[in-house]
């Protein structure tokens, strides 16, 4: 059995998918080039979720820029990977906020640090962003301390301004982070995001926006609040939805317009190398779902053993091979911390 996401796909389905892909001419598979989605901006080269990271991603050819959204104490949506911000800001070095350190239970896990919901927007704006992975990305860490935490409105404004300047559409791809937790403390994300989309003329199925989440119920709730397209995120391992069968994938289409799988769910890794694609993309397309896998990173630390180059975990390996494999599997978009590499790869595809 081919192991995938802690669960198994049958050899028959796996082999059938590979056979269909092999029988399809590469030119036909490449009819539509996948969207480039800048994961937290050009977060491999600038501190994540900063306006400079988003600007660089747009300059490198990104079609969408992705902000993870959490709430402030006064109900503003801001772009942070997590509501705990000690790893992405200088808050731990700010004596005026020392007493705000807390321990909380977020989605069943104990987390200690400083949390956005304990700060007003004005207070958060006094903090400065920093690189979350300085040991892997020292060049990005050189930009520490230069930028504030942006609001979602600032990210939307940037996308609109750059769309006009470059005369091409740049969308936003917000993720609702820990929505059940935030609803439980009286700071619901769904309603605030729906209101923001309406205020910006983005409340439609054709608007340049996708709303993503790892939780099912918030996506269903959001569906009643906005016409914007929704994407169900799925990681390897146990998940709230079934992506190991065609019926399971079809069920996702009842509340989502797209599927965002962790990329090895599309192109699995075996013995340190990329294997043939699973049937997931075919199942999703048959159900009317777009497929936008996440997240391709260039560093050896995030690549299969046989794609690594150099000796350091921070050295860049053959990420292009991952981009190629995903595009040859007919995905509709791809998330990357290095949108420039992703944009370049979609014009130089190597399909076997």
**What range does the domain containing 334 cover?**
2-81+148-345
In a domain, 103, yes or no: no
CATH number at residue 67: 3.20.20.190
In a domain, 288, yes or no: yes
In a domain, 208, yes or no: yes
From CA 67, how far away is CA 198, in angstroms rounded? 18
Asked if the model's pLDDT at residue 175 lies above 70, the reply is yes
| Count of the separate structural domains present in the chain | 1
- Residues 306-333 have a mean pLDDT of 97
pLDDT score at 351: 81
In a domain, 112, yes or no: no
From CA 298, how far away is CA 318, in angstroms rounded? 7
Farthest-apart Cα atoms in the chain, separation:
64
Confidence of residue 27 (pLDDT cuts 50, 70, 90): very low
pLDDT score at 352: 67
Asked if the model's pLDDT at residue 29 lies above 50, the reply is no
In a domain, 115, yes or no: no
pLDDT score at 2: 35
In a domain, 86, yes or no: no
- Residues 168-175 have a mean pLDDT of 98
In a domain, 233, yes or no: yes
From CA 326, how far away is CA 287, in angstroms rounded? 19
Q: Between the CA of residue 59 and those of 42, 159, 161, 223, 338, what are the distances in Å?
A: 10, 11, 13, 32, 12
Using the 8-state DSSP alphabet, how is residue 242 labeled?
-
From CA 157, how far away is CA 150, in angstroms rounded? 11
3-state secondary structure of 287: coil
pLDDT score at 149: 98
Confidence of residue 346 (pLDDT cuts 50, 70, 90): confident
3-state secondary structure of 65: strand
Contacts of residue 215, defined as CB under 8 A and 6 or more positions apart, other chains included, come to 176, 179, 180, 240
Higher pLDDT, residue 6 or 297? 297
- Residues 135-164 have a mean pLDDT of 98
Q: What is the pLDDT of residues 199-248, one digit of tens each?
A: 999 999 999 999 999 999 999 999 999 999 999 999 999 999 999 999 99
Residues 96/90, Cβ–Cβ less than 8 Å? no
pLDDT score at 11: 39
Neighbours of 118 (CB within 10 A): 17
Q: What is the pLDDT of residues 267-277, one digit of tens each?
A: 999 999 999 99
Using the 8-state DSSP alphabet, how is residue 290 labeled?
E
In a domain, 34, yes or no: yes
């Amino acid at each position: 059995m081919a192991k995938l996401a802690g669960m198994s796909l049958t050899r028959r389905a796996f082999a059938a998918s590979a056979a269909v892909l092999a029988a399809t001419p590469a030119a036909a598979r490449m009819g539509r080039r996948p969207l480039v989605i800048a994961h937290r901006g050009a977060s491999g080269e600038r501190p994540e979720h900063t306006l400079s990271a988003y600007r660089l991603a747009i300059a490198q050819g990104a079609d969408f820029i992705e902000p993870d959204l959490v709430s402030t104490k006064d109900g503003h949506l801001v772009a942070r990977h997590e509501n705990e911000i000690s790893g992405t800001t200088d808050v731990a070095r700010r004596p005026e906020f020392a007493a705000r350190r807390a321990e909380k239970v977020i989605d069943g896990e104990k987390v200690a640090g400083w949390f956005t919901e304990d700060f007003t927007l004005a207070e958060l704006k006094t903090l400065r962003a920093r690189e979350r992975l300085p040991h892997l990305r020292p060049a990005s860490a050189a930009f520490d301390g230069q930028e504030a935490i942006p609001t979602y409105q600032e990210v939307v404004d940037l996308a609109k301004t750059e769309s006009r300047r470059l005369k091409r559409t740049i969308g936003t791809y917000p993720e609702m982070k820990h929505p059940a937790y935030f609803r439980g403390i009286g700071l619901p994300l769904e309603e605030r995001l729906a209101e923001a989309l309406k205020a910006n003329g983005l409340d439609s199925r054709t608007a340049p926006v996708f709303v993503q989440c790892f939780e099912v119920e918030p996506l269903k709730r959001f569906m009643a609040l906005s016409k914007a397209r929704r994407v169900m995120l799925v990681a390897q391992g146990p998940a709230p939805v079934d992506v190991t069968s065609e019926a399971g994938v079809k069920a996702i289409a009842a509340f989502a317009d797209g599927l965002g799988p962790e990329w090895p769910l599309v192109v699995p890794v075996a013995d340190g190398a990329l294997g043939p694609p699973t049937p997931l993309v075919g199942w999703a397309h048959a159900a009317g779902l777009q497929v936008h896998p996440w997240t391709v990173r260039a560093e050896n630390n995030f690549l299969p053993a046989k794609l690594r180059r150099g000796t350091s975990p921070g050295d860049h390996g053959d990420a292009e091979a991952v981009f190629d494999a995903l595009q040859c599997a007919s995905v509709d978009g791809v998330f990357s911390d290095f949108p420039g590499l992703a944009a370049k790869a979609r014009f130089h595809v190597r399909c076997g």
